[in-house]
Amino acid sequence: MVKQAPIAVIAGGGDLPGLVIRSAMAQGREVVTIAIKGEADASLSAFNPVELGWGQIGKLFSTLKSKGVRDVVLIGGVQQRPDFTSILGDFGTMWRLPRIIAAVVGGDDHLLVKVAGIFEREGLHVVGAHEVAPELVASLGHVAGPKPSKKALSDMTLAIEAVDALGRLDIGQGAIAVNARVVAVEGAEGTDAMLERVAALRENGRVRSKGAAGVLVKCSKPQQDLRLDMPGIGPQTIRKAAEAQLQGVCVEAGRVLVAHRDEVERLCDELGVFLYGCTRGEEAEA
C-alpha cells in the first residue's frame, strides 16, 4: 500500500482543529500541525505543532514542502483583529484575509477563493474539514433530543426560508423563528449573540410563548466555499438555545460542522433541545 502524503492542519483557535487532527490520525493519516501563535489552543501541544506567527508565511510554505505536505486544512477561529493598514506589506496578511475581510470589507467569498488560490499557486491543495473529518458534519433528519413537534417543524421551515433569502444576499447564516414568526436574523454579531438576544426578548416579553418554542436554523451560504469558512455549532450552541427557550436547533446537513458531537447529543437529551439536519429549501417533515 502506498503511504498517503501527510496532511497539514493550520490551526486557529477553538476545539475544531484538534478534532480534525484526531479524526485524520484515526484514519491513519500523518498530520503536520501548524499552530498559529496567539490563536491555536494550548491543547494542540499534544500534536507537537510547529508554531508560526502571522509574519512567518515563508517559513510556513518551506515547512509544508519539507514535510511533503500536499493537502492543507485551514481551521479554527482567528481572534486577532489588527488594524488593516498596520499589516499591509506583511506577507502574513494573506492568511488573515478571510477574517479581516469578514470584519472590514464585506462579502468575502471572492477573497476567500483568492486565499485558497495563493496556497494552490504554491502547489498545495486546500481541503475542507468536512472532507478530512466527515463525521464532524451534520447528518440529515432527526439527530438528537426530543422529536420535533409539528409546530417546531413549521418554525423550522420558516427560518430555513429566511436563512435561504439571507444567504442569497450574502448576509447571514442563521435565523430563529418562534411561533410562526421569524424573530431574529443573524448579521455580523454571530450565532451566540443572536441566541442571547432571543433569550432577552423572551425574558422581557417581546417574544412570548408558554414553555419552549421555536427553532434556530443555521446553514451555509449557497455560494460558500466550504473549505474555508464552514459554519459550525457545538455544545455552547445547544446551551444557549436552551437559554433562549427554543425547542430545537436545525443545521444544514453536510454543510455545517458539529463539534463535540457526543457532548452535543448528550446536552440535547439533557436540556430537551432537538438537533435536526435539514436541506436548504426543505419543507421539514418529522
Residues that bind a copy of itself (CB under 8 A): 81, 84, 103-107, 161-162, 165-166, 168-172, 176, 179-190, 193, 197, 201, 205-209
Least CB distance from residue 110 to a copy of itself, whole Å?
12
Residue 50 or 185: the one with the smaller Cβ distance to a copy of itself is 185
Least CB distance from residue 103 to a copy of itself, whole Å?
5
Q: Is 83 exposed, middle or buried (0-12, 13-18, 19+ CB in 10 A)?
A: exposed
Residue 61 or 84: the one with the smaller Cβ distance to a copy of itself is 84
Element of type H or E holding 47? none
Task: Specify the length of the chain in residues.
Answer: 286
Least CB distance from residue 84 to a copy of itself, whole Å?
7
Least CB distance from residue 278 to a copy of itself, whole Å?
17
Residue 128 or 248: the one with the smaller Cβ distance to a copy of itself is 248
Least CB distance from residue 279 to a copy of itself, whole Å?
19
Least CB distance from residue 123 to a copy of itself, whole Å?
33
Pairing status of strand 257-258 against strand 50-52: unpaired
DSSP at 86: G
Pairing status of strand 31-36 against strand 50-52: parallel
What's at 17, amino acid-wise?
Answer: P
CA distance 284 to 282: 6
Residue 158 or 251: the one with the smaller Cβ distance to a copy of itself is 158
CA distance 183 to 175: 8
Residue 88 or 169: the one with the smaller Cβ distance to a copy of itself is 169
**Residue that has been written with the C-alpha cell 430545537 in this structure:** 248
Residue 162 or 251: the one with the smaller Cβ distance to a copy of itself is 162
CA distance 65 to 73: 15
**Residue that has been written with the C-alpha cell 409546530 in this structure:** 151
In this structure, the dihedral spanned by the alpha carbons of residues 14, 20, 22 and 25, taken in order and rounded to 10 degrees, is -150
